[in-house]
Structure 1
């Protein structure tokens, strides 16, 4: 179990590193924003309410990587809405750069369980719901252990494993492995899906 000194040190490291990265990546973000506007139109940013620490909601910010839903044009599913340009954004994780603002605000951490959908909150087992005992992260143990290549039960198990074993050494390891995964473009989408399939809930009967 992590200590208060760790939580304080992690928050300070998050604030400093995210602030520095926001400044360093600002030219890249400007270029990506212009490209998104040209390729996908406006708005440039994707905003969606997600559950954070203790399940409290916040607004996640990313670059858009999909076209808007348009039934008349046949743009409904993720596969139909995700363009080659959008796939490139996701593969390089450039779509995640604006999320650094969430880290600075304290909504998120650099490392932690990924923030999922509000609708999933009622679908977790009590054990799986423990993933919300920490701030969600831009990257996490599940992401460096297969990302979208592993099933939901394994993802959520790894999220809880991170909650129980978190520390600065593990955080540093996850960040290093994340950089390696991005370079190799691993686990970008689940097999047979443009992104990943919906979490319906575990089959076990211990769900709250």
Structure 2
């Protein structure tokens, strides 16, 4: 039975959304308080190793494509080539920045974005507005939920996936999400932080197949 069905005046989907929001707030506040010493240490380390500013701030697409300012610890230097152009991301990241990214500790400041409602614990990672607009209908669907601190694409390959593969996984999650799946994503995020990223070909194939079926239905019979 669909969560969207009304049962005796009880809107299950609405209450599940409220429970998810309550979980987001409780999780982010609790995690933020527990991680406070780590946040302070990381802020000092970034200031010493990479200099100022400590935070990287950028406008990203939120729910319903509303822009919001996402902040995380800076993981790259501002090194430039002889012509004054920024070096590649890999060249500017270095060992310290690479450690921050692999451990995902650079994402900890996003807990505040969850508290104020710009983000959720689980959902598609927030990306640039222009990228969302370029995705057309897929971008609209991807932004039908709050962006997340971690998501289905992040635990099924992340940097080992193409942008299209990530979008297919994100949309598959949106269309099939459950509380149990969210719990699985949280658990697998911890495993990814410890053991690294790995492509899940089975789940990727399911997401690609769903995307193909969706496109066929949208285009209709020829």
TM > 0.5 fold call: yes
**1:36 and 2:36 are equivalent in the alignment:** no
Please name the residue that 1:180 is paired with: 191
Q: Residues of 1 paired with 2:91 and 2:85: CA distance?
A: 7
Query: Equivalences for 1:183-202 in 2 at 5 Å?
Result: 183-186=194-197
What RMSD over aligned residues (CA atoms) do the two structures have, in Å? 1.8
Please name the residue that 1:63 is paired with: 73
In the superposition, the TM-score normalised over structure 2's length comes to 0.80
Given candidates 62, 74, 85, the residue that maps to 1:52 is: 62
**1:103 and 2:114 are equivalent in the alignment:** yes
Conservation of the 8 A alpha-carbon contact between 2:59 and 2:70:
yes
Deviation at 1:121, TM superposition (A): 2.1
Q: Residues of 1 paired with 2:179 and 2:186: CA distance?
A: 11
Deviation at 1:185, TM superposition (A): 2.1
Given candidates 150, 159, 174, the residue that maps to 1:163 is: 174
Conservation of the 8 A alpha-carbon contact between 2:123 and 2:145:
yes
Deviation at 1:141, TM superposition (A): 0.5
**Number of residue pairs the alignment of both structures matches:** 189
Range with greater deviation from structure 2 (76-85 or 132-141): 76-85
Conservation of the 8 A alpha-carbon contact between 2:132 and 2:139:
no
- SS of residue matched to 1:65: coil
Please name the residue that 1:15 is paired with: 25
Q: Residues of 1 paired with 2:72 and 2:79: CA distance?
A: 17
1:93-140 per-residue CA deviation (whole Å, 9 max, x = no partner) reads 110111101100100000000001122022104134311000000100
Structure 1 unaligned segments of length 5 or more: list them.
Answer: 188-203
Query: Equivalences for 1:149-160 in 2 at 5 Å?
Result: 149-160=160-171
Deviation at 1:77, TM superposition (A): 1.4
1:69-107 per-residue CA deviation (whole Å, 9 max, x = no partner) reads 534466421112111100011111110111101100100
Structure 2 unaligned segments of length 5 or more: list them.
Answer: 4-12, 199-214
- SS of residue matched to 1:31: helix
1:153-205 per-residue CA deviation (whole Å, 9 max, x = no partner) reads 22111111111112211110111111111111225xxxxxxxxxxxxxxxx9x
In the superposition, the TM-score normalised over structure 1's length comes to 0.86
Please name the residue that 2:143 is paired with: 132
- SS of residue matched to 1:14: helix
Structure with more relative contact order (C-alpha pairs < 8 Å, separation 6 or more): 1
